[in-house]
């Protein structure tokens, strides 16, 4: 055999050998089985369950057939108060709720969404979480509590209304002695103002007010309040408050389950959360404004702006609560210090730069 023919033969043998190896190896490569995560939401219906589904839809759109989230409504597997423990133990793979729902384990938890207002909104608190060291502090808290979870925050909520009352509140003195529903550290703040606070799930608020168990209540927004039928038990609705002036959702996953996922699926769960921020704000503010008009025009609700005297009293009560808890808990004080440092710089810029939007609104609409 000539040298030329020998080289052709060897090249052909090499190619054939590679093809044979490939054909033998191919059957041993199995596609990874699709992953299904069981997630329970704290919502039985309404706009918040829609928001949870919107997050899930984003995950599905990005992950395709590789990842599916089975979204369950409130109490499907465990009660809302047990959701974090269920995720920690692996009974649930994930949960969609707010940190205020488990703050009984650590009052520091309420600082991640329902803490004192340092002149900032939910948008800036999320900024602190992502760029001011907030997530590092949250993960440190998870370690201190020994919780086997990974969480992401999303959906910056507008300030929550002060809520529904049996009469218009014109002065802070009218708040003293009222039996009122709220959750999280807001309960400590309003008790400091002389109120008697009851912490109830959303679905129990309207019946409790109807029966007289409570005198006044808040949940979160005009759309949810209208769905609950609050307009049937009260006609005086107060917007604006510092008791929960910034909040957002927490999407939490069992840490062992999360870490078992391929890195690209982990990233999808994280970045779908960030993508939901914009959709939530655009969608919900429109829905809230539409339902506020319906409450006024169709149900005869009298909408009031909460008096400054009430909000000033809330800020003073926050000072008392924050000072007390900071003295009791070094980590609580550490989180507060971090938040104040971030808010001082960021809000200084925003307050100097932002025009008076209300001035422009009044110019056009009176």
- Which of 275, 254, 318 lies closest to 114, judged by CA? 318
- Which of 79, 78, 59 lies closest to 69, judged by CA? 59
- The pLDDT value recorded for residue 9 is 39
- The pLDDT value recorded for residue 357 is 96
- The pLDDT value recorded for residue 33 is 79
What does the DSSP 8-state code read for residue 53? H
Q: What is the dihedral of CA 262, 267, 272, 278, to 10 degrees?
A: 180
Cβ–Cβ under 8 Å, residues 39 and 70? yes
Equal CATH topology for 35-157+247-285 and 163-245+286-327: yes
Q: What are the beta bridge partners of residue 252? A: 95, 151
CATH topology of domain 163-245+286-327: D-Maltodextrin-Binding Protein; domain 2 (3.40.190)
The pTM is what? Answer: 0.88
- The pLDDT value recorded for residue 256 is 98
Tell me the helices (H) and strands (E) count for the chain, helix number first: 13, 11
What does the DSSP 8-state code read for residue 34? P
**pLDDT digits 0-9 by tens, 120-177:** 999 999 999 999 999 999 999 999 999 999 999 999 999 999 999 999 999 999 999 9
Name the superfamily (CATH) of residues 35-157+247-285: Bacterial extracellular solute-binding protein, family 7 (3.40.190.170)
**Run of H or E including 30:** none
**Run of H or E including 47:** helix 46-63
Per-residue pLDDT tens listing for the chain (366 residues): 544 444 443 444 444 444 443 444 444 334 567 899 999 999 999 999 999 999 999 999 999 999 999 999 999 999 999 999 999 999 999 999 999 899 889 999 999 989 999 999 999 999 999 999 999 999 999 999 999 999 999 999 999 999 999 999 999 999 999 999 988 899 999 999 999 998 887 888 999 999 999 999 999 999 999 999 999 999 999 999 999 999 999 999 999 999 999 999 999 999 999 999 999 999 999 999 999 999 999 999 999 999 999 999 999 999 999 999 999 999 999 999 999 999 999 999 999 999 999 999 999 998
| CA separation for the pair 173, 178 (Å, rounded) | 10
Cβ–Cβ under 8 Å, residues 174 and 199? no
| CA separation for the pair 297, 27 (Å, rounded) | 67
| CA separation for the pair 333, 339 (Å, rounded) | 10
**pLDDT digits 0-9 by tens, 48-61:** 999 999 999 999 99
- Using CB atoms within 10 Å of the CB of residue 330, give its burial: 0 to 12 exposed, 13 to 18 middle, 19+ buried: exposed
| CA separation for the pair 227, 319 (Å, rounded) | 34
Domain boundaries, the chain: 35-157+247-285, 163-245+286-327
- Which of 150, 142, 38 lies closest to 92, judged by CA? 38
């Amino acid at each position: 055999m000539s040298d030329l023919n020998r080289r052709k033969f060897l090249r052909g043998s090499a190619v054939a050998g590679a093809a044979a190896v490939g054909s033998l190896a191919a059957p041993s490569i199995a596609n990874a089985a699709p992953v299904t995560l069981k997630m329970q939401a704290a919502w039985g219906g309404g706009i918040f369950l829609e928001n949870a589904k919107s997050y899930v839809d984003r995950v599905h759109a990005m992950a395709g057939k590789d990842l599916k989230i089975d979204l369950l409504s409130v109490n499907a597997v465990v009660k809302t108060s047990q959701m974090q423990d269920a995720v920690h133990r692996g009974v649930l793979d994930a949960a969609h709720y707010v940190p205020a729902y488990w703050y009984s384990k650590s009052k520091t938890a309420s600082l991640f969404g329902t803490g004192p207002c340092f002149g900032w909104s939910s948008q800036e608190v999320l900024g602190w979480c992502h760029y001011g060291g907030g997530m590092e502090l949250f993960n440190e808290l998870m370690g201190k509590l020994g919780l086997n979870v990974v969480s992401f925050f999303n959906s910056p909520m507008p300030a929550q209304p002060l809520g529904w009352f049996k009469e218009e509140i014109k002065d802070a003195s009218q708040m003293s002695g009222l039996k009122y529903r709220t959750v999280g550290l807001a309960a400590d703040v309003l008790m400091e103002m002389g109120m008697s606070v009851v912490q109830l799930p959303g679905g129990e608020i309207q019946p409790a007010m109807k029966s007289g168990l409570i005198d006044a209540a808040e949940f979160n927004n005009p759309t949810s309040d209208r769905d609950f039928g609050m307009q049937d038990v009260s006609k005086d609705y107060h917007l604006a408050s510092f008791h929960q002036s910034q909040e957002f959702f927490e999407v939490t996953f069992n840490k062992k389950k999360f870490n078992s996922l391929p890195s690209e699926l982990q990233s999808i769960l994280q970045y779908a959360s960030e993508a939901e921020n914009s959709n939530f704000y655009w969608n919900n503010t429109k829905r809230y404004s539409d339902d506020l008009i319906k409450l006024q025009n169709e149900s005869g609700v009298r909408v009031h702006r909460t008096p400054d005297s009430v909000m000033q009293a809330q800020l003073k009560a926050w000072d008392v609560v924050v000072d007390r808890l900071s003295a009791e808990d070094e980590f609580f004080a550490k989180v507060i210090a971090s938040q104040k440092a971030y808010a001082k710089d960021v809000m200084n810029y925003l307050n100097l730069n932002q025009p008076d939007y209300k001035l422009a609104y009044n110019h056009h609409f009176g």
